[in-house]
Structure 1
């Protein structure tokens, strides 16, 4: 029996300059008692705007700076606050870990969740899942939810004033979206939501890729100079919404498996998720024997915005170590197996080294 097509997304998505000043107006139907789970910078840059949006209301607000990792004990701590204070709405403010902690807390307490990303480094804000860690910060599990967030509110001023490296990493994460969904579609593999891939999902994924090519370089320049331009707004939407909803409903393939594989190498620990996903996308296209014009277009884009096109840029100096990453990227259950005809560690190793050779030509 064919997999039924499925499409999921946040209930509401709001983006623009000063969007947080509308926070109360956009979430007031969810409840009147809020727990804001914040990163340190999330609290610093967002709390005043949010408090201002609640002026004149009788809502109860509790801002809590969390420990930095979406761990089991951190989630338990937040659940206790919810229970002790009769919280009705959970809000995550910050990067991926704050967002994942808020989603998990809301899920276990059966409450609505709103998300306020302060960086666009990944597509976590819109997705219906969290990455959960053990208390020693080692990976534990992916937690899948029956629904996506009730609201995602992105204030472009906050993104424009965040370090540009986060915007660039988000573009790397978003770059894989279309090519991974296309691979899943070709092999009839399910999406992250375990459904068939709809025309709407593929359209979002393709729009994500086109938006990156058209606006990426200019958006980077805008962000470096804290300027809010149409190009920056377009890339924020691509990184957060198009990539998030696209990946959720389009599926993953080699690009993200390559990231998972490289996490086994100590020298890549400080390399951002999106940077490795971008390099993994180049390797995936090589494995698929994609037209050389398509590979060149992707590599030109990466080079223009500062995403890696060589192994050296992601921290690898000993190419033999890539064997370890390739083995880890191809373990059973990894999304690399969503490629038509499958992929072996040796094939992936050869593709990664070929990507590196092509990338080195940019620096000659």
Structure 2
């Protein structure tokens, strides 16, 4: 049985690590294309200037319009080619990070997350969107980033909502990896650059990946709330360090080499609902995890434990929490149809997928979330 585990070359996390960014650029050459929004660059401008001087490197700002479209990534590739930059840096949140992966195409890539909002930084895959924010396609590259550099001081100073959203993304990791493990499904680690079908024999996840996915869930329960409190105060504590590592490293390795299942597929389907466009990836994935648990008829104790955690840190429990009101079964069917296309990860669930059953799970998850919130508010 063929198994695969895919990893970034280096992962470095700590306080003031941005000051070492220039060193990693220097391992590739003298110049780097910096893909980041103007707001994210402004947040860490002083650190960029210090590290550029210290290591004698230059950052060429490519900007970023905020959406990972084919047009935007092509524009950035043109800048990199024109300037003949030695490496690519993706700095900021998940969209800038994914854009940098598309531009770099698996070569000489440094990822610098300034928030711990999702598990994209370590992976060799990216998600493409249309200009209106709806899902377009997945892109896969031949290897993971060369360097993932996380400055926990910067993460602690970001709005707490981002850290909590990252917990929502990490929350799905174990439950999706468990489903994939039970179905012996192929995982992303087996896919080469730019290929959904793959040119090598399929591989399933390793026990190491499943263990990291399970550790995600354990860490969230143990330190998620305390990390949120630390971030509220813009302070780095061991609880915050632990959850940053959970959101970025453990969840990243867990999802990519452990596998995705229904939760992320349902998330992708939810992009057809305009109200959700104003919410973060991890916030939507958290609710989609509830839907997956309903779909697989998870034990009540497990479902309640998940909702307890979500409620404690402020993750969305209902579709109304995600800006969707007057939700109908027809709306659920639209989500389920997109979530159930042949290429989607929902088919890693250990049973056949029926679109109407997926739609029903979404509706029932919403009602269960409503009932849970009402019981807590009494």
Q: Same fold (TM over 0.5)?
A: yes
Q: Residue 220 of structure 2 is aligned with which of 209, 212, 216?
A: 212
- Cα distance in 1 for partners of 2:31, 2:83 equals 8
State whether structure 2 residue 154 is matched by structure 1 residue 158.
yes
- Specify whether residues 70 and 343 from structure 1 end up closer, same or farther in structure 2 by C-alpha distance, changes over 3 A only: same
TM-score by length of 1: 0.93
Pick the aligned partner of 1:350 from 357, 360, 364.
360
How far 1:79 moved relative to its partner?
2.3
What's the CA shift for 1:27?
Answer: 4.1
Structure 2 equivalent of residue 145 of structure 1: 141
Partner of 2:193: none
Relative to 1, partners in 2 of residues 1:71 and 1:35: Cα closer, same or farther, differing over 3 Å?
Answer: same
1:242 CA displacement: 0.8
Change (3 A) 1:78 1:361: closer
User: 2:342 aligned with 1:299, yes or no?
Assistant: no
Divergent runs of 4+, >3 A: 133-140
C-alpha separation in 2, matches of 1:117 and 1:186: 32
Greater shift, 271-280 or 47-56, is seen at 47-56
> In angstroms, what is the RMSD of aligned CA positions?
1.9
**The one of 263, 268, 272 aligned to 1:264:** 272
Structure 1 residue runs of 5 or longer lacking an equivalent are: none
Match of 1:19 in 2: 17
1:9 paired with 2:19, answer no
Q: Report the Cα offset of residue 137 of structure 1.
A: 5.6
Match of 1:255 in 2: 263
In the other structure, the counterpart of 2:347 is 337
Q: Is residue 88–residue 111 contact of structure 1 (8 Å, CA) maintained in 2?
A: no
How many residues are treated as equivalent by the alignment? 360
Listed one character per residue, the Cα deviations across residues 130-154 of structure 1 (whole Å, up to 9, x for unaligned) are: 2234566654321100000000111
Greater shift in the superposed pair: 349-358 or 228-237: 349-358
**Aligned position for 2:52:** 54
**CA contact under 8 A between 1:73 and 1:135: conserved in structure 2?**
no
The alpha carbon displacement at 1:36 in A equals: 1.3
Of 104, 109, 120 in structure 2, the residue corresponding to residue 124 of structure 1 is: 120
Q: Is the 8 A contact 1:27 1:151 kept in 2?
A: no
Separation in structure 1 between the aligned mates of residue 132 and residue 316 of structure 2, nearest angstrom: 30
For 1:334 and 1:268, the matched residues in 2 are separated by: 20
Report the CA distance shift for 1:134/1:354 in structure 2 as closer, same or farther (over 3 A): closer
Q: Is the 8 A contact 2:128 2:135 kept in 1?
A: yes
Q: 1:189 aligned to 2:185?
A: yes
Q: Tell me whether 73-82 or 181-190 shows the greater mean CA deviation.
A: 73-82
Question: For 1:235, what is the secondary structure of its paired residue?
Answer: helix
User: TM-score of the superposition, structure 2-length normalised?
Assistant: 0.90
Displacement of 1:5 in angstroms is: 0.6
Unaligned runs of 5+ in 2: 191-202
